[in-house]
Amino acid sequence: MATEIQVAADRPSLIDRLRSAWQGWYDPSAPIPPVAPAGTPPRQFDYPLVLNQTWLPRAGEKVGFHQLRMMADGCYLIRAIIDKVIARIITKNWHFRLKPQAGEYMAQTKDRSNKDPRIQALTNFFQMPDSTHSFPVWLGMLLEDRLVIDAPTLEVQRTRGGDIFNLMPVDGATINVLIDNTGRRPMYPLPAYRQIVKGLPAIDLTTRDLIYMPGKVRNHKLYGYSPVEQTLGIILTLIYKTVMHQDWYDESNIPLAYMTMPENMSTTEILRLIREIQASNNGNLEERVKILPVPNGGKVELLKKEEFQPKFEEWCARIFAYVMGETATPFVQQNNRATAQQSDDTREESGEKPLTFWVKNEIDQIVQRRDLFNAPDIEFVYDEEAETDALKQAQVDQINVAIGTRVADELRQRDGLSPLWEDSGGNPPQPSMMVATEEDQDEPGDDDQGGGNPKPKKDGKKVSKAAVAQKKTLHRY
């Protein structure tokens, strides 16, 4: 009768023994088997259980939306900087255009954009995106939520045919973000957001109904990270310091000064004098700053001096300005012109560009998304700003005209002046298709071939190399 050999269930297999022998002495060993079912996709982050049932926005954060707004409104320094940043961005000029094609000149892109009816339709729509507020006011509402709570939100209102009718700003503090099993935002038609009204879940919204646009998105958080939240500790310190300054004038357990009375003055007389002084000065700031007569021999000694340490406010202003991308020049003492100019240049590079890029990116997403305006070949751009220094701008214009990238009439149109040909009563200039002739080519003996002079024309006038280069590039425009 054959005998069956029983092998223990927990005995390692040959492959396991070979793996163990290959790993060597004190090896890290094989990892424990995963507990998730096979085929489970990775999660964006380890979110808490039943997170979607916690409907209050920012319920898991230390600071809520309401507290962030209170901090921004209660700190005069950061509120002034926020308002300045918003005013600077909303006053910039902008336009829509077709995306430039490969090898295309800007003038050609501009000509194609002028002929596309969608450009004018988008421009007209964004003049008043919500049918109530102009574009600067509408954008200012979004920037306020971007800088304070980092939850700018738009409701998409559509016509019966499905076209975009309005983009209505919504208070982002009322929006609770939902997630799916992977910790990411659910795709349409599943609800991705829930609006909370009066502390209760009101309505569910999809990504087609609501545009949620936080500026600083972190991988382990559902909500944005605003500049106010970044500087919250400094804001609280400055608010407490401001309250202390107010109490310096209003209330304090330390008297402003004390007076030494004559030795022959009795306690009853001293108490009566104190009551009379307090009765006349209580709640009356005008009486506090007037001269107070005292008995003969009395001496006044000040205990509190009005020193508010402005260096701390300057340091706070520098921090706020750096985070907001604004210059701290108005809040800093002893600032010369060179330092102020450098601060302005730094503000444009590190402050304005990220914020204007956020505005451009969000509007581009609205215009190009398939479920919104569905125009992937159109983009939102800001106009080039002229140099504030008139001398620098004149030098830039002179160089552009000399090398042929601009013509004089383009610059005059930018400055609001009529073209030169119109003032002279002539005909508009036609684009020149000329190319450089043999007379325009450099020959030996020119100023770059050994010190010769520029070659004269047939009429005896000299022509510079800059003029030759300008003629070569005129056909582009």
Total tally of structural domains belonging to the chain: 4
User: In the block, which residue shows the tokens 């939102």?
Assistant: 380
Per-residue pLDDT, 336:
57
Whether 193 and 186 have beta carbons less than 8 Å apart is answered as no
| Residue 235, amino acid | I
* Mean pLDDT in residue range 307-327: 81
Report the alpha-carbon distance of residue 148 to residue 151 in Å, rounded: 8
Residues 317 and 185 in one domain: no
Q: Is residue 324 part of a domain?
A: yes
For residue range 402-429, what is the model confidence (pLDDT) as tens digits? Answer: 887 778 877 777 777 777 755 555 555 5
The better pLDDT of the pair 226, 297 is held by: 226
| Residue 309, amino acid | Q
* Mean pLDDT in residue range 190-195: 96
Per-residue pLDDT, 196:
96
Please state, rounded to an integer, the average pLDDT across all residues of the chain: 79
Q: Is residue 193 part of a domain?
A: yes
Domain boundary among 382, 399, 421: 382
Per-residue burial over 53-63, b = 16 or more CB atoms within 10 Å of its CB, e = otherwise = eeeebbeeeee
The better pLDDT of the pair 132, 292 is held by: 132
Per-residue pLDDT, 348:
54
Q: Is residue 297 part of a domain?
A: yes
For residue range 347-403, what is the model confidence (pLDDT) as tens digits? Answer: 555 568 889 999 999 999 999 999 999 999 999 999 977 666 677 788 888 888 888
Q: Is residue 30 part of a domain?
A: no
Q: Is the pLDDT of residue 319 over 60?
A: yes
The better pLDDT of the pair 253, 46 is held by: 46
Residues 81 and 204 in one domain: yes
| Owning domain of residue 62 | 51-94+102-233
Q: Is residue 31 part of a domain?
A: no
State the number of CA atoms in the 13 A half-sphere of 241 facing the CB.
17
Residues 360 and 441 in one domain: no
Picking from 327, 378, 356, the residue whose alpha carbon sits closest to that of residue 122 is 378
Residues 327 and 424 in one domain: no
For residue range 71-129, what is the model confidence (pLDDT) as tens digits? Answer: 999 998 999 999 999 999 999 999 999 999 988 888 889 899 999 999 999 999 999 99
Check: pTM over 0.75? Answer yes or no: no
